[in-house]
């Protein structure tokens, strides 16, 4: 089709039915095979965040068959947001007479079937208008403020709000224009001089190197990493569904606990396979997705296996005492079996409803991990006792020797021969 040029389109396609989503994708890819298309099923997936403005897209396509009231209401709500990308509302029904009044930022396309020619023309028009609008916005003095995170300017990421802070970084909710989604943006205190060998920054780099090289459904997605205004930053997946700690406030069935154990073990198998330990596995570092999958995050304490001695030359204790392996709590050399012990504590807590060891002080908890017997397993959990003891043995030699071995045991328990 002539006249559409070779611009790479970035589109967000929202549909009430999966077949409509696929149909729109097919029409778009006929013209733009390299189009970047992000998809969302209205009603079946979590609602778009109120702070999301789709600014990284050329257009947002919403398609619905009768009844179309919900999709129309949704489209009008998004169009009312300041600076939201232009919306093409495809209503697979005959046009009413008279048609509704025009709405800024919203174009309606009626018809029982999608008219490809008209759709593509609308996309081109919407894209052109959006780019002109963005050009005008960039000319305003206040435009730069959207990319400011404290004192740091990070272009391509629209700051929404600060959501947390730590010793090494401040944490923000942001919209990534390139990823086309909300992200968690960690902005680190500074980029140290190489000669300083600041431990926190080295761990940050390791976090990126670990995760960016993996494409695993149970490991957090990393969207961007960079340096701006002498500060390092990393943009990663946002988890509006929260973490496992919050989920564990409600009882979990044994079957659910086992299913979550399997997913976390799969994540550990992936990171261990590239020679990396997590070192701080706990429920707060296991995030939930709306589809039921979980994702392992926060590799800020992770270190390569061959780098067991800290950068200062002395061994250090990292992690959370409730979930530390005996050897980690005593600053001994650790390996992948230490992460498995931590996972055992998480599984025990998911299954039984409380931690295996508690104490008035961190040192008391660390002592119990090393010396106290594992509490007796109630008969109703007897089926899982082999997993628990295989994870929570005091000696690493008596535990599962790898995440792969653990996964084999889990699957044998789920599907006995």
Cβ neighbours of residue 107 closer than 8 Å, sequence gap 6 or more: 86, 87, 88, 89, 122, 125, 126
Contact between 375 and 356 (Cβ < 8 Å): yes
- Residue 96 is encoded by which pair of tokens? 């009413």
Known active-site residue 373: no
What lies within 8 Å, CB to CB, of 184 at 6+ separation is 163, 171, 172, 173, 174, 235, 236, 237, 238, 239
Q: Distance between CA atoms of 114 and 63, rounded to whole angstroms? A: 9
Question: CB-based contacts of 151: which residues, under 8 Å, 6+ apart?
Answer: 229
Gap between the Cα atoms of 400 and 412, Å rounded = 14
The Cα 109–Cα 333 span in angstroms is: 65
Pairing, β 152-153 against β 148-149 = antiparallel
What is the end-to-end Cα distance of the chain in Å, rounded? 59
Residue 228: beta bridge partners?
A: 231
Q: What is the DSSP letter of 103?
A: B
CA distance 153 to 137: 17
Cα 356–chain centre separation? 29
Active-site choice (58, 224, 243, 280) = 280
Would you say 220 and 287 are in contact if contact means Cβ atoms under 8 Å apart? Answer: yes
Q: How far is CA 145 from CA 9, 98, 151, 181, 240, in A?
A: 27, 43, 10, 19, 25
Do β-strands 59-64 and 10-15 pair in parallel, antiparallel, or remain unpaired? parallel
CB–CB of 10/47 below 8 Å? no
Q: Which residues are catalytic?
A: 280
């Amino acid at each position: 089709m002539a006249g559409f040029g070779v611009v790479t389109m970035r589109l967000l396609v929202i549909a009430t039915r999966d077949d409509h989503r696929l149909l729109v994708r097919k029409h778009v890819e006929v013209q733009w095979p390299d189009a970047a298309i992000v998809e969302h099923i209205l009603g079946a997936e979590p609602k778009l965040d109120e702070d999301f403005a789709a600014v990284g897209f050329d257009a947002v396509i919403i398609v619905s068959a009768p009844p179309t009231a919900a999709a129309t209401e949704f489209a009008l709500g998004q169009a009312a947001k300041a600076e939201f990308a232009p919306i093409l509302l495809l209503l697979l029904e005959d046009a009413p007479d008279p048609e509704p009044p025009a709405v800024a930022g919203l174009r309606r396309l009626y018809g029982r079937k999608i008219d490809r020619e008209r759709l593509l023309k609308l996309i081109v028009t919407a894209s052109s208008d959006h780019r002109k609008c963005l050009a005008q916005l960039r000319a305003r003095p206040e435009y730069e403020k959207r990319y400011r995170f404290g004192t740091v300017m990070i272009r391509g990421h629209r700051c929404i709000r600060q959501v947390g802070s730590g010793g090494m970084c401040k944490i923000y909710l942001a919209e990534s224009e390139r990823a086309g989604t909300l992200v968690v943006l960690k902005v680190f205190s500074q980029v140290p001089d190489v000669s300083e060998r600041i431990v926190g920054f080295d761990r940050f780099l390791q976090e990126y190197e670990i995760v960016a090289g993996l494409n695993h459904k149970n490991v957090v997605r990393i969207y961007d990493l960079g340096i701006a205004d002498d500060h390092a930053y990393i943009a990663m997946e946002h988890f509006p569904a929260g973490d496992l700690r919050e989920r564990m406030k409600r009882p979990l069935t044994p079957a659910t606990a086992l299913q979550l154990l399997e997913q976390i073990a799969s994540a550990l198998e992936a990171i261990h396979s590239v020679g990396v330990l997590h070192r701080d596995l706990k429920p707060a570092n296991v995030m939930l997705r709306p589809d039921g999958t979980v994702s392992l995050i926060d590799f800020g304490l992770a270190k390569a296996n061959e780098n067991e001695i800290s950068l200062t030359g002395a061994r250090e204790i990292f992690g959370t005492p409730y979930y530390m392996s005996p050897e980690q709590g005593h600053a001994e050399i650790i390996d992948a079996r230490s992460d498995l012990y931590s996972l055992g504590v998480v599984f025990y807590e998911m299954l039984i409803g409380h931690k295996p060891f508690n104490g008035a002080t961190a040192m008391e908890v660390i002592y119990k991990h090393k010396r106290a017997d594992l509490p007796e397993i109630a008969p109703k959990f007897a089926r899982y006792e082999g997993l628990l003891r295989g994870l929570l043995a005091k000696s690493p030699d008596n535990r599962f020797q790898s995440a792969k071995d653990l996964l084999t045991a889990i699957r044998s328990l789920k599907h006995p021969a």
